[in-house]
Amino acid sequence: MNKRPATLKDVAAAAGVSTSTVSMILNRRSQFKPEVEARVREAILALNYRQNPGARSMVTGLFGSIGLVVLDIRNPHFTNVVHGASIKAQAYGYNLIVVDLKEDISHATQTVDNLARRVDGLILSLRLTEEARDLPRELGKPAVLFGQTLQGHFQDLQTPSIQIRGREASMLLGRHILETGRRRIMYVGYSRSIWNADRVGALREIAGDAEVMEMSVDTQTMEAGEAIAASIVYGPQKVDAIVCYNDVIAIGLLHGLCDLGVRVPEDISIAGFDNIAVSRYVTPSLTTVDMRSEDLGSRSLERLHLAIESRDPGPTAVLLEPRLMVRASTQGSAK
Amino acid sequence: MNKRPATLKDVAAAAGVSTSTVSMILNRRSQFKPEVEARVREAILALNYRQNPGARSMVTGLFGSIGLVVLDIRNPHFTNVVHGASIKAQAYGYNLIVVDLKEDISHATQTVDNLARRVDGLILSLRLTEEARDLPRELGKPAVLFGQTLQGHFQDLQTPSIQIRGREASMLLGRHILETGRRRIMYVGYSRSIWNADRVGALREIAGDAEVMEMSVDTQTMEAGEAIAASIVYGPQKVDAIVCYNDVIAIGLLHGLCDLGVRVPEDISIAGFDNIAVSRYVTPSLTTVDMRSEDLGSRSLERLHLAIESRDPGPTAVLLEPRLMVRASTQGSAK
DNA sequence: GTGAAAGCGCTAACAG
DNA sequence: CTGTTAGCGCTTTCAC
């Protein structure tokens, strides 16, 4: 209808008061003559007035929004992070601006830089470039980093973080697999992730005399997992258990194995990380480690809220405990 | 570092020119003395200056962002819509602001209203309230609606839309199921969707002498699908095929059926809608109808871009054709 | 070509 | 308690 939305000035004029009166009534709770306030509210309704958040931001420096940068929204792990953050954002009254990098971190710095100027704070994946991770601090914007711990790295971050203990996750899973009598474990990694080394490293550490082999895929898709099945089955090395970088890859690989006539878990057992919803619904249901995706998102948002409100940041790192989810895909002993 | 980022004024001062000169150099390509331009660019670099998008928006009325409202980001269908839109947004240089309603459309109007003041255009699900759908038009903001056709409704929308032919989708699937000899079809709907009626209606239309029964769940999760399995298996009616509102529900239900010892597809065949990535990877792989999720997102963005740029809206409706994806879950004849 | 000045819509002192 | 006023950082006529 109105091509030009009503402004504060219009409301003030209509109510016969000054703009500052309207502004105060809208924002602070300072008392006004009931009569004046009523007139103002009436005018607001009549003109269908809405604050212009941009103009407001310019003077207050506040945006009422939080930016969340994820690596790949199609990965249910990140979707769950978004969901967790979104719930808390709603609770605190923030807008959540989700930006998907589509696994391409080469523009991460630019993305963060761009986003930082429109939000009160940022939630970033730990897997971004260091430059991108540090940018908020340089810009003086509150930020929270989320992701997995990384041995020898994220302990003394300059930015608060919510981290899931990655090596513990690997160990939980590794221990479980060893307990089922498997001795020839193939780790299928994701070449572009900084967490690969920790995953397989922790696995090796507790493997003892069991052998840990390694392969990797370079896209995080079920297709990639499926495609690698043949090289494992027909490869030179005998394998009786497979640990995948995440559930997405594991589900693809599981399917690929079944197509090749491999019995899971009898011939080869298989597991992933993340505990995405569908893992419980594939056949056999997939053993995995719950990486607390949703908690990662909600805790990050809460932590950021604190930093924005109370100015009480302190680059503390919260460590979340992974949870082993044993399901059919690793059930039963080998042989 | 600098708590206060450099402003245009700072750059102008450093370069010894006026703010308007800097602004012009930054935006338009109007020619300047190479010497002046060089000095300005140097100052920009030296001060690490970035435009303040908020201030710019206030005067130009442009935001460089597009808002996308989805019903449930955890549903891979919507994730794919986001992904499709995100790719095009990046191509056109827009920021994509994704807002997740978490299946609660009661605040849709408020969400849209709020978002509309921060973006150049909106992409909304057709499943929002009519009030929310119409709001952009009242606000004079370009918008594109996406989703499924709805018999007797979305033909003369006031807003451009990208629609997937829902009844055709049902018919494709129904026809396929009938061809496999099934005659007692259970439709498991999602009670909160406006598209339920079309789905089951179209199914009934082509069912002929086959019987179409109906049940429904009220959350769109695999858990809900799983939970309803028993009522179908132990219910009073014999069923030889199941069509679910979407793949998420179907995957849960498939799992539930298997747990109850039902053989799929021998005893009961099952199918869903959406063609989410994982459908191919469950066991048996799930027959579904590709609802062109990613195309819905990318086409919407393209259409919106047109409306924003060329001022060439026109409330046209683009109809996308669904694609039947026959997989193992409906393979083979009944009995 | 370049600068001066007038706002965009709003908030925040500061007066009255 | 309410109005006046001065900007927030940027773009954009309009003169020079």
Pick from B7, B51, B74 the residue to mutate for testing the A interface (most A CBs within 10 Å). Answer: B74
Q: Is residue B3 part of a domain?
A: no
pLDDT attached to residue A3: 62
pLDDT attached to residue A1: 40
Q: Confidence class of residue A333 from pLDDT cuts 50, 70 and 90?
A: low
Structure tokens at A204: 């090796």
Preceding peptide of B53 cis, ω within 30°: no
Q: Tell me, what amino acid is at B276?
A: I
Is A82 within 8 Å of B95 when comparing Cβ atoms? no
B-chain residues near A63 (CB < 8 A): 54
Of the partner residues B97, B100, B252, the one whose CB lies closest to the CB of residue A82: B100
Any bridge partners for residue A185, and if so which?
A: A212, A241
Q: Measuring from the CA of residue A5 to each C1', which nucleotide is nearest? A: C9
Q: Is residue B199 part of a domain?
A: yes
pLDDT of residue B77 exceeding 70, the answer is: yes
pLDDT tens-place string over residues B241-264? 999 999 999 999 999 999 999 999
pLDDT attached to residue A36: 87
pLDDT of residue A61 exceeding 80, the answer is: yes
Instruction: Work out the mean pLDDT of chain A and round it to a whole number.
Output: 93
Q: What percent of chain B has pLDDT over 90?
A: 87
Preceding peptide of B284 cis, ω within 30°: yes
Q: Confidence class of residue B34 from pLDDT cuts 50, 70 and 90?
A: confident
Cα–Cα distance between A28 and A17 in angstroms, integer? 17
CATH number for A146 = 3.40.50.2300
CATH number for B45 = 1.10.260.40
Q: Is residue B1 part of a domain?
A: no
pLDDT attached to residue A263: 96
Neighbouring CB atoms inside 10 A of A313's CB total: 18
Cα–Cα distance between B40 and B10 in angstroms, integer? 11
DSSP assignment letter at A151: T
Cα–Cα distance between A313 and A335 in angstroms, integer? 53
How close B230 comes to chain A (CA, Å)? Answer: 16
Q: Confidence class of residue B315 from pLDDT cuts 50, 70 and 90?
A: confident
How close A116 comes to chain B (CA, Å)? Answer: 10
Query: How far does the CA of A60 sit from the C1' of C15, in Å?
Result: 22
pLDDT tens-place string over residues A259-284? 999 999 999 999 999 999 999 999 99
Any bridge partners for residue B211, and if so which?
A: B184
Structure tokens at A173: 């899973």
Structure tokens at A103: 């696994």
Phi and psi for B121 in degrees, rounded to 5? Answer: -170, 165
Query: How far does the CA of B37 sit from the C1' of C3, in Å?
Result: 15
Which run of H or E residues covers position A124?
strand A121-125
Cα–Cα distance between A76 and A296 in angstroms, integer? 13
Distance between the two ends of chain A, CA-based, in angstroms?
Answer: 74
Query: How far does the CA of A189 sit from the C1' of D10, in Å?
Result: 48
Q: Are residues A161 and A296 in the same domain?
A: yes
Q: Are residues B91 and B116 in the same domain?
A: yes
Is A82 within 8 Å of B73 when comparing Cβ atoms? yes
Q: Tell me, what amino acid is at B198?
A: D
Q: Is residue A206 part of a domain?
A: yes
Encode burial over B166-195: b for 16+ CB neighbours within 10 A, e otherwise.
bbbbbbbbbebbbebebbbbbbbbbebbeb
Q: Are residues B161 and B296 in the same domain?
A: yes
Q: Are residues B91 and B238 in the same domain?
A: no
Identify whether the C-beta of residue B87 lies closer than 8 Å to the C-beta of residue B57. Answer: no
pLDDT of residue B5 exceeding 80, the answer is: yes
Q: Is residue B335 part of a domain?
A: no
Q: Is residue B2 part of a domain?
A: no
Helix (H, G, I), strand (E, B) or coil at A257: helix
Q: Are residues A106 and A220 in the same domain?
A: no
Longest dimension (CA), chain A: 87
Q: Confidence class of residue B28 from pLDDT cuts 50, 70 and 90?
A: confident
Q: Are residues B161 and B297 in the same domain?
A: yes
Which residue has the least CA–C1' distance to nucleotide C6? B59
Footprint of strand D on the protein (CB under 7 A): A 16-21, 24, 30-33, 36-37, 55, 58-59; B 4, 7-9, 19-20, 23-24, 26-28, 49-52, 55-56, 58-60
Give A29: exposed, middle or buried? Use CB within 10 Å, 0-12, 13-18, 19+: exposed
Which three-class secondary structure string do you get for chain B? CCCCCCCHHHHHHHHCCCHHHHHHHHHCCCCCCHHHHHHHHHHHHHHCCCCCHHHHHHHHCCCCEEEEEECCCCCHHHHHHHHHHHHHHHHHCCEEEEEECCCCHHHHHHHHHHHHCCCCEEEEECCCCHHHHHHHHHHCCCEEEEEECCCCCHHHCCCCEEEECHHHHHHHHHHHHHHCCCCEEEEEEECCCCCHHHHHHHHHHHHCCCEEEEEEECCCCHHHHHHCHHHHHCCCCCCCEEEECCHHHHHHHHHHHHHCCCCCCCCCEEECCECCHHHHHCCCCCEEEECCHHHHHHHHHHHHHHHHHCCCCCCCEEEECCEEECCHHHCCCCC
Structure tokens at A163: 């981290």
Q: Is residue A84 part of a domain?
A: yes
Final residue of a domain: which of A19, A44, A60?
Answer: A60
Pick from B50, B62, B79 the residue to mutate for testing the A interface (most A CBs within 10 Å). Answer: B79
B2 near A CB under 8 A = yes
Q: Is residue B121 part of a domain?
A: yes
Structure tokens at A25: 């009534």
Of the partner residues A82, A96, A282, the one whose CB lies closest to the CB of residue B282: A282
Q: Quote the domain boundaries for residue B124.
A: 65-165+292-322
Q: In chain A, which residue's Cα lies nearest the Cα of B137?
A: A1
Q: Are residues A53 and A87 in the same domain?
A: no
B282 near A CB under 8 A = yes
Residues 6+ apart with CB under 8 A from A225: A188, A217, A244, A248, A249, A250, A251, A252, A253, A254, A255, A256
pLDDT of residue B174 exceeding 60, the answer is: yes
Structure tokens at B315: 């409330």
Q: How many domains does chain A have?
A: 3
Q: Are residues B178 and B272 in the same domain?
A: yes
Q: Are residues A160 and A266 in the same domain?
A: no
Mean of pLDDT values over A178-192 = 96
pLDDT tens-place string over residues A294-320? 999 999 999 999 999 876 767 899 999
Identify whether the C-beta of residue A329 lies closer than 8 Å to the C-beta of residue A243. Answer: no
Q: Tell me, what amino acid is at B321?
A: E
pLDDT attached to residue B29: 67
Q: Confidence class of residue B334 from pLDDT cuts 50, 70 and 90?
A: low
Q: In chain B, which residue's Cα lies nearest the Cα of A136?
A: B1
Cα–Cα distance between B74 and B217 in angstroms, integer? 17
**Nearest CA-CA partner of A76 in A256, A324, A294, A228:** A294
pLDDT of residue A35 exceeding 90, the answer is: no
Identify whether the C-beta of residue B103 lies closer than 8 Å to the C-beta of residue B75. Answer: no
pLDDT attached to residue B304: 96
Sign of CA dihedral A221, A223, A226, A231: negative
How close B17 comes to chain A (CA, Å)? Answer: 24
Q: Tell me, what amino acid is at A249?
A: I
Mean of pLDDT values over B58-67 = 94
Q: In chain A, which residue's Cα lies nearest the Cα of B247?
A: A278
pLDDT of residue A43 exceeding 70, the answer is: yes
Distance between the two ends of chain B, CA-based, in angstroms?
Answer: 74
Strands (E), A127-232: 143-148, 161-164, 184-190, 211-217
Final residue of a domain: which of B60, B76, B101?
Answer: B60
pLDDT attached to residue B1: 40
CA atoms within 13 A on the CB side of A281: 29
Q: Are residues A126 and A269 in the same domain?
A: no
Identify whether the C-beta of residue A80 lies closer than 8 Å to the C-beta of residue B102. Answer: no
Residues 6+ apart with CB under 8 A from B309: none
Q: Are residues B152 and B252 in the same domain?
A: no
Cα–Cα distance between B147 and B169 in angstroms, integer? 13
Preceding peptide of B265 cis, ω within 30°: yes
C-alpha distances in Å from residue A291, one per residue of A274, A297, A303: 5, 11, 18
C-alpha distances in Å from residue B55, one per residue of A6, A62, A177, A199, B65: 19, 13, 57, 46, 14
Structure tokens at B132: 């929310």
pLDDT of residue B62 exceeding 70, the answer is: yes
Mean of pLDDT values over A155-171 = 94
pLDDT tens-place string over residues A240-259? 999 999 999 999 999 999 99
Is B100 within 8 Å of A97 when comparing Cβ atoms? no
Final residue of a domain: which of B45, B60, B75?
Answer: B60
